Amino acid sequence: MNGSAVIVLSPIDNVAVCRRNVTIGEPLAMDGETAVAACDLLIGHKVARRPIPRGAEVIKYGMSIGSATADIAPGDWVHLHNLQSNYLSIHARTSQAPA
């Protein structure tokens, strides 16, 4: 058990989640990978564990939770400013499907 400020919820995740508030410059141990917090981070918010190029999927719980809208470096805050949903409702998918 380590006392890291962040937790990695699934081994394949490219983000970790803050277990407490984190201060800029704090070193973050993320299950074998390390980075330095690029800004202050609030509890419950996400921080990049690996480089995530613009357009790549952001993975949490081993699941895609959306795509990066900018290049993201390890230690960067990941939230609304650089991540967007890929979710398309089933109705929208159905109505867009070719007949």
Partner 1 sequence: MIVANGYLRTDGRKGIRNVVAVVYLVECAHHVARRVVDKADDDDVHLLGFPGCYPNDYSLRMMKALTTHPNVGGVVLISLGCEGFDRDGLAASIFESGRPVETVVIQEAGGTRSGIDVALAAVRRVQTEMQRLERRVPMQLSDLTIGTICGGSDGTSGIAANPAVGRAFDRLVDAGAICIFEETGEMIGCESAMAARAASPEIASAIDTSIGNAETYYRAMGYGSFSPGNADGGLSTLEEKSAGAYVKSGSRPINGVIRPTQAPDGPGLYLLDVVPDTPPKFGFPNISDNAEIVELMSCGAHLTLFTTGRGSVVGSAIAPVIKITGNPETYARMKEDMDIDAGRVMLGEATLDQVGDDIFNLVLAVAGGAQSKSEDLGHREFILNYKTIDAVGPACHPGSL
6 alpha carbon, distance to own chain's centre: 12
Which of residues 44, 54, 70, 71 is near partner 1 by CB under 8 A? Answer: 44
* Contact status: 52 vs partner 1 (CB under 8 A): no
Instruction: Let me know the angle formed at the C-alpha of 11 by 8 and 12, rounded to the nearest 5 degrees.
Output: 110
Kindly indicate which of the ranges 32-40, 48-56, 74-82 contains the residues binding partner 1, using the contact rule CB under 8 A.
Answer: 74-82
Q: How far is CA 44 from CA 5, 22, 39, 55, 64, in A?
A: 11, 10, 15, 23, 18
* Contact status: 60 vs partner 1 (CB under 8 A): yes
User: Which residues form the interface with partner 1 (CB under 8 A)?
Assistant: 1-5, 7, 9, 17-20, 42-46, 60-66, 78-80, 83-87, 89-91, 94
